[in-house]
Chains A and B, each alone.
Chain A
Amino acid sequence: MSTVRVGTAQPRQRRPRASVWRVFAMPALLLVASIAGLVLGLTGDGLPDALSWALLSIPIILAAIAFARRG
C-alpha cells in the first residue's frame, strides 16, 4: 500500500501491522467457541448444557473485560 495521508495528526511511531492471521486469531477462537456452544446445547441436558453456557459466556466475558480496561 502506498502512503496515505491521515488528517493532520502528529507524526508518531506506529504499531507495526499485524498479519491478517494475527488479527483474526482471537475472533476466530470466539467464533468457534460460540458455535460449539450453540451446537453442544442441542446434544443433551446436563453436562452438554453446562458446557454450552460456559462456551457462550466467553465472548460476553471478554467484552466485559475490554470495557473494564478501556482507556
Chain B
Amino acid sequence: MKRSTIKAWFVVHKWSSLVSTLFLLMLCVTGLPLIFHDEIDTLIGEDHDSVLEGTPSAEGGQPLDRMVANALAEQPGEVPLFMAFSQDSPLLTVTTGPTPDADSADMTLLFLDRSTGQLIGPAPTGGLMDFILQLHTDMFLGLPGMLFLGLMGALFVAALVSGVVLYAPFMRRLPFGTLRTTRSPRVKTLDQHNLIGIVALGWMLVVGLTGVINALADPLTESWQNGELAEMTAQYAGERPVDPDNYGSLDAAMASAQSALPGRSPQFIAFPGGDWSTGHHYAVFFQGDRPLTRHLLTPALIDARSAQLTDAGAMPALNQALMMSKPLHFGDYGGLPLKLIWAALTLATIWVLWSGLLLWLRRSPAKIERRIDEIATGAARGMPV
C-alpha cells in the first residue's frame, strides 16, 4: 500500500472516530442495561409474560372485541390504536389514544390477561429503563435525534472499515494477537486497540449496521405506508377515514386475516388511522412460520367496517431488512448466554473506543508522519530492511 493511501485511510479513521466516539460510548453504556431489560423487568416485577399462565394470547382466549371493550372501559373517550399478542403467555396489550392518529406521547399502553379478559393495568412509564431506552434511541430529540444517532452509527462503520485497512500494513511484521507491554504506554494501548478491534469486528459491524437501519425505522415505515400500502388499498383512496364508532368486529377481522394467511401467528393489529395502517383498515401483522422468518411480519389488510380482506402480502425488502435488524441489534434471540456474549462484546467495544480516544489524547503534536511510518512499515522494533 502506498504511503499516501495509508495516510488517507488514517485520516478517515481518525475523523470518523473522533466525531462519533462520545455518542458511541453513550450508546454502549446505555445499551448494556438494555440487553438485559427482560431480566430487569422480571426483577422489578413488571414482566407479566413470565408470570401469566395459560394459552398464549396469539393463539386464543377471550374474544378480541371483549379485550378492546375492557381496555376502553379503563380509558373512557379514547380509541384503540394497537393490540399486541404474546407467543408465550396470555398477556395481551392494547394501546389507546385520544384520536386514531394520536402522537406516541399521548398513547396509553394497557396490559390485559386474555385468558380471563381482565385488565392487569397500565404499563409503567417514566422508569429508569424508559429513560435509558429513550436516550439510546433518540436522546429525547425525536426523529432528528434518531437520524443523528444513525449517522453516528454510519461513522462507526466507516471507522471499522478504515481501521481494518490500517490493520494490514501495521500487522505485517507482528503475529496475530501480539500485545507488546515492554515498550511505551502508547504502544501498549495501540496493540490492545488493534487486537480487540479486530477480534470484535464481526459483531461490531453487525450491531453498527443494524443500528443504522433501526435509526431509519420511521422513514421506512412511512415510505411503506405511502407506497406499498397505498397501492394495496388504492380503491379506498379519497374516502373519508372510518369513524371509530363504526369499527366492525375485530374477531371477524382476525378470522378473515387468518384465512388469508393460514398457519401463522399474529403479532399485532394496527387500528385504522395510525402509522401502520390506512384510515379504513385493521392491519393484522403475522409472524413468519419458520424460526428464521419469525421476525419477518406480513400484514393482512381487513376492511374495518365489513371485516372483509382487502389484500395481504409481504413488505418491501428494506422494511424486511428493518425487521431482521431488530433482533440482530438487540441480541435478544438466543437466551441468556447470547445476552452475556452481547454484554462482553459491548464492553470490548467500549475498550476499543476508549483506547482510541486515549491514543488521540496522548498524541504528540506534529508526529503524524511518524505514526504513518509506523503503520506503513509494519510495527516492530528496529530499522526497516
Give chain A's interface residues, CB within 8 Å of chain B: 1, 3-7, 9-18, 20, 23-27, 30-35, 38, 41-45, 48-49, 52-53, 56-57, 59-60, 62-63, 65-67, 69-71
Q: Which residues of B contact A56 (CB under 8 A)?
A: 203, 338, 341, 345
Q: Which residues of A contact B182 (CB under 8 A)?
A: 71
User: Are A15 and B291 in contact, with the CB atoms below 8 A?
Assistant: no
Q: How far is the CA of A34 from the CA of B384 in the complex (A)?
A: 35
Q: How far is the CA of A27 from the CA of B327 in the complex (A)?
A: 25
Is B136 interfacial (CB 8 A cutoff)?
Answer: no
User: Are A38 and B328 in contact, with the CB atoms below 8 A?
Assistant: yes
Known: A14-B378, A15-B380, A23-B167. 8 other contacts (CB 8 A): A32-B202, A35-B202, A38-B206, A43-B292, A45-B335, A48-B291, A60-B348, A70-B179
Is B200 interfacial (CB 8 A cutoff)?
Answer: yes
| B336 CB → nearest A CB, Å | 10
By Cβ-Cβ distance, the 3 closest A-B pairs, closest first, are A34-B202, A12-B382, A70-B179
Write the chain B residue with the least CB distance to A25: B176
Q: How far is the CA of A56 from the CA of B206 in the complex (A)?
A: 12
Knowing A11-B383, A34-B203, A49-B335 touch, does A17 contact B173 (C-beta < 8 A)?
yes
Q: How far is the CA of A29 from the CA of B292 in the complex (A)?
A: 24
Is B284 interfacial (CB 8 A cutoff)?
Answer: no
Is B240 interfacial (CB 8 A cutoff)?
Answer: no
Chain B positions 72 through 112: 1 when the CB is less than 8 Å from some CB of chain A, otherwise 0: 00000000000000000000000000000000000000000
Q: Which residues of B contact A53 (CB under 8 A)?
A: 334, 337-338, 341
11 sampled A-B residue pairs with Cβ under 8 A: A6-B382, A10-B383, A12-B381, A35-B202, A42-B291, A42-B292, A45-B335, A56-B341, A59-B202, A60-B348, A69-B177
Is B198 interfacial (CB 8 A cutoff)?
Answer: yes
Knowing A1-B3, A10-B382, A56-B338 touch, does A63 contact B348 (C-beta < 8 A)?
yes
Q: Which residues of A contact B291 (CB under 8 A)?
A: 42-45, 48
| A46 CB → nearest B CB, Å | 10
Q: How far is the CA of A59 from the CA of B201 in the complex (A)?
A: 9
Q: How far is the CA of A25 from the CA of B124 in the complex (A)?
A: 50
Q: Interface size bucket, B side?
A: 35 or more
Is B297 interfacial (CB 8 A cutoff)?
Answer: no
Q: Which residues of A contact B383 (CB under 8 A)?
A: 5-6, 9-12, 14
A-B contacts, CB under 8 A, total = 148
Q: How far is the CA of A42 from the CA of B168 in the complex (A)?
A: 32
Q: Which residues of B contact A20 (CB under 8 A)?
A: 168, 172
Is B385 interfacial (CB 8 A cutoff)?
Answer: yes
Is B152 interfacial (CB 8 A cutoff)?
Answer: no
Q: How far is the CA of A46 from the CA of B373 in the complex (A)?
A: 50
Q: How far is the CA of A63 from the CA of B344 in the complex (A)?
A: 11
| Contacting residue for B179 out of A34, A57, A67, CB 8 A | A67
| Contacting residue for B344 out of A33, A49, A60, CB 8 A | A60
Write the chain A residue with the least CB distance to B344: A60
Knowing A17-B378, A27-B198, A30-B199 touch, does A5 contact B373 (C-beta < 8 A)?
yes
Name the residue in A4, A9, A13, A31 with the highest tally of chain B Cβ atoms < 10 Å from its Cβ: A4
Q: How far is the CA of A14 from the CA of B198 in the complex (A)?
A: 23
Q: How far is the CA of A6 from the CA of B289 in the complex (A)?
A: 61
User: Are A4 and B377 in contact, with the CB atoms below 8 A?
Assistant: yes
Name the residue in B177, B199, B295 with the highest tally of chain A Cβ atoms < 10 Å from its Cβ: B199
